[in-house]
Structure 1
Amino acid sequence: MAMKRTPSKPARTPWVFLGIGAGASLAAVLSAATSGLAAYFARRIVVPERAEEPLEILHVSGFDGEMSILLAADDETMVPGRYGLVFDGGRGHARIGDILEYDPRAGTVLRSVLGVDAGTLRKARRGRWSAAYYRNPDAAGVPSTEITMHSDAGELPAWCIPGNPSAVEGFTDVWAILIHGRGGTRAAGLSAVRPLRRLGITSLAIAYRNDAEVQPPDDSRYGLGDTEWLDVDAAIEYALDHGARRIVLFGWSMGGAIAFQSASRSRFKSAISALVLDAPVVDWFAVLDRQAKINKLPTPVARLSLSMISRPWARWITGLETPLDLHRMDWVTRAAELDKPVLLIHSDDDDFVPSRPSHLLARARSDLVTMPVYDTARHTKEWNVDPERWDDDVARFLSGVLSRPGSRGD
């Protein structure tokens, strides 16, 4: 039988050593937490997100041509204008019109349904609000040809939409490259097609690397414009090989950052006559700082996230092949280098890509930049809120720029 042992008292640890150990452990935990949060935010910046459908569809009523839809009221669904509604995992698409009724007590908004281009809207329970009003060129009522271009990223699908050959302006030697934003599709550029066709301008609505149409989502990493411009180069080359002599770049959101890089780095820079940019990323530092504040990230975490996407040591964390040069994509600092006429359309209530850098660039380069005032459209929805005004601003700008002697470029 074993003898019962009396437990000995544990040795007393001096408080000074306990304090040092606890402090060191706490510092290690905080450092790990900061690094982990920074890594998470850095990956969110460069990894394409899975398209979700967070908007609740409460009821669909009426018949074809006179349908209405009851939705949860939020900052997006309460903005006037016309929009796309994506549902059924992206397979369905409806065109949504004016606000018919708002019930603040129930938190609902009733809007008209202008058309259902795909899917069964009555069966939908959730959807995604979209600035892409048209699903494809057929829905926009314009002729098109599906084409395939090629870059180092592989095959790039695009819609080629011819300009009206009998257009009064007769800019038939001009092609427009339509560059959608982060997480979008080439359908986003279709809002620009009508004024372009009236000017006789042919359009290429393109997909680029990191799009679901181009590369498997698990392998995709956004370059924020620092790499995607190479695919725009392929589009410009296609246009020049098929009759274009002058090029206009259109860019929405991150597509604006891509357009800036194309205009400054393209092999075909001399053929680029102008840029038309809607809610563009003029300065990524400003955008990422805004997103950090929205997500309530402490300043050290935000700074570490920026280091992770712009330094070689963090490639294994972000999955980027090469670090991104955010300074090269800061066009407020690089304003003196701008050498193309630019139309900046940017709503001052944009809470995703702040409009301040656009205003700073417009003030710094008033000789080249035209920036009309928009103030109620949130992010990239200026056309949705007032398509007639948007069309007129674009047509007026391009008519003036393309009619100037020597508008072909450098």
Structure 2
Amino acid sequence: MPEAGTVRPVNRPGTVLLVSAAVTAAVAAALPLLAGPLVRARVTDAGPSRRLVPVRGHGGQDSQTYLEFDPDGFAAHPGRLSLRAASGGGLTVLGPPRWDATHRGRALRRTVERGDPSRVLLDGKGQLSGHLGETPEDFGFTYEDHRIGGLPAWVIPAEGPGDVWVIHVHGLGSSRSQCLRGVAAFSRLGFTSLLPSYRTSLDLPGRQHRSHLGVSEWAEIDAARRYALSRGARKVLFVGWSLGASIVLRTLQQAPDPSTAGALLVSPALDWPAIISAQLQKAGCPAFAARRVPSTFNLLRRKGEPVVRWKEMPGCFMQNYSPVPTMIFHGSGDQSVPVELSRQFASRQQDPVPLVEFAGAHHTLEWNSAPALWDQTVTAWCRSLGLDAGKGSIQEFSEAK
């Protein structure tokens, strides 16, 4: 029996359902306010990668040092890679993977080609990447240090008189060194390469701000083009890696110039709403919610962050794209930007856009997986554009058919 003066609770299912519905509605209303800033912070993070891989062992064979890794992880990626210790230091360049079934079951080994792995071994783990050097000198190039708009840039001059310049634009959370792998093919053609920095380049200490996904950065690449023209360039090729591809297209959209001979887009991060949705679904977000989140991108922005209007992004809606001869390199194993997005981009262009897929290559690792394919395709493409291979001079230029 209840005590005198107490009130027995009354079970009212309808009331409970109304309260539950109200809570659900409130959560649903608040979700965009939470999702927008969180997703924006993640997508625009211009800091370095924090993905580390363990080093399982090391040894020596045939007067060479090798490191051992998990056989089924990122270390199994085809081609040469580099490793930087978790605590920092220089790069250790590693040869292609090979498997040894006689030692510890099934071990994956990579031979040390250049660098000192002692710091990596002390840490027991490091960051694997496709970077194979930190300056042009590591690739045997003669180069010049310059500043464009107060930001550092490398110029790798052509051997002999050359009036074709190639501007290489790196991606998000990276630096100029990302692009060095792809320079040799253009150098052999007699072209000068310019590798500029922009505001979120990792080789600018203390300046790793949030990326604007090309909305602002394009002006720094346009400045690089104007610099090349002031140094004697008559025609300019662009090579954009990942976000760099988006920045390149934004540059061509905002500042079209007759000097542009073409654009090579590598693992291009173009359709950002689709990229965001794909990553959210990969993380377990329901498809309907993942498609909705990009529309919340501009909610509760930090002071100084611009509005990113998807309909003005050249890779999303191409009606404002200033067409130039364009080619795409994309790895079929890209886990960051699905290769299907490049297929869609190429298919909806009025003029043909060749898409070269690199079997099994992860994000921006096309050159690493198949350097000969990269070099041969670049050479053939430049010749198709009327660029006189081997001399660096320009024939009459016409749009690629």
2:391 paired residue number? none
What's the CA shift string for 1:268-297, capped at 9, x where partnerless? 622111111111123222212211111122
Please give the residue correspondences for 1:246-395 in structure 2 after superposition, counting only pairs within 5 Å: 246-266=235-255, 269-299=257-287, 301-309=289-297, 311=298, 313-316=299-302, 321-331=305-315, 333-334=317-318, 337-365=321-349, 367-395=351-379
**How far apart, CA to CA, are the structure 1 residues paired with 2:120 and 2:16?**
64
Within the alignment, does 1:143 sit opposite 2:132 as a pair? no
Please give the residue correspondences for 1:4-403 in structure 2 after superposition, counting only pairs within 5 Å: 8-10=5-7, 12-13=9-10, 15=12, 16-29=14-27, 31-32=29-30, 35-62=33-60, 66-101=64-99, 108-116=107-115, 120-150=119-149, 155-165=150-160, 172-214=162-204, 216=206, 220-266=209-255, 269-299=257-287, 301-309=289-297, 311=298, 313-316=299-302, 321-331=305-315, 333-334=317-318, 337-365=321-349, 367-401=351-385, 402-403=387-388
Secondary structure of the structure 2 residue equivalent to 1:62: strand
Higher mean C-alpha deviation, range 229-238 or range 203-212 = 203-212
What's the CA shift string for 1:304-324, capped at 9, x where partnerless? 531232x4x4324xx562111
**How far apart, CA to CA, are the structure 2 residues paired with 1:70 and 1:377?**
21
Higher mean C-alpha deviation, range 388-397 or range 343-352 = 343-352
1:17 is displaced (CA, Å) by 3.2
Higher mean C-alpha deviation, range 297-306 or range 85-94 = 297-306
**How far apart, CA to CA, are the structure 2 residues paired with 1:194 and 1:65?**
29
Counterparts in 2 of 1:182 and 1:389: CA distance versus 1, 3 Å? same
Counterparts in 2 of 1:36 and 1:406: CA distance versus 1, 3 Å? same
Counterparts in 2 of 1:106 and 1:308: CA distance versus 1, 3 Å? farther
Q: Is this contact kept in 2: 1:180–1:186, CA < 8 A?
A: yes
Q: Is this contact kept in 2: 1:210–1:221, CA < 8 A?
A: yes
TM-score (norm 1): 0.85
Q: Which residue identity is paired with 2:153?
A: A
1:23 is displaced (CA, Å) by 3.5
TM-score (norm 2): 0.86
Q: Is this contact kept in 1: 2:153–2:196, CA < 8 A?
A: yes
Q: Which residue identity is paired with 1:130?
A: S
**How far apart, CA to CA, are the structure 1 residues paired with 2:29 and 2:351?**
48
**How far apart, CA to CA, are the structure 2 residues paired with 1:364 and 1:22?**
46
1:370 is displaced (CA, Å) by 2.2
Q: Which residue identity is paired with 1:12?
A: P
**How far apart, CA to CA, are the structure 1 residues paired with 2:146 and 2:117?**
22
Q: Is this contact kept in 1: 2:358–2:370, CA < 8 A?
A: no
**How far apart, CA to CA, are the structure 1 residues paired with 2:218 and 2:241?**
14
1:92 is displaced (CA, Å) by 2.2
Counterparts in 2 of 1:14 and 1:93: CA distance versus 1, 3 Å? same
Higher mean C-alpha deviation, range 101-110 or range 300-309 = 101-110
1:95 is displaced (CA, Å) by 0.9
Counterparts in 2 of 1:367 and 1:336: CA distance versus 1, 3 Å? farther
Give the gaps of 5 or more residues in structure 1: 1-5
1:213 is displaced (CA, Å) by 3.2
**How far apart, CA to CA, are the structure 2 residues paired with 1:20 and 1:26?**
10
What's the CA shift string for 1:304-358, capped at 9, x where partnerless? 531232x4x4324xx5621112222253641784421112111223222112232
1:362 is displaced (CA, Å) by 2.8
Q: Is this contact kept in 1: 2:173–2:202, CA < 8 A?
A: no
Count of residues in Structure 1 that have an aligned counterpart in Structure 2: 390
Q: Give the percent of matched residue pairs that are identical in Structure 1 and Structure 2.
A: 26
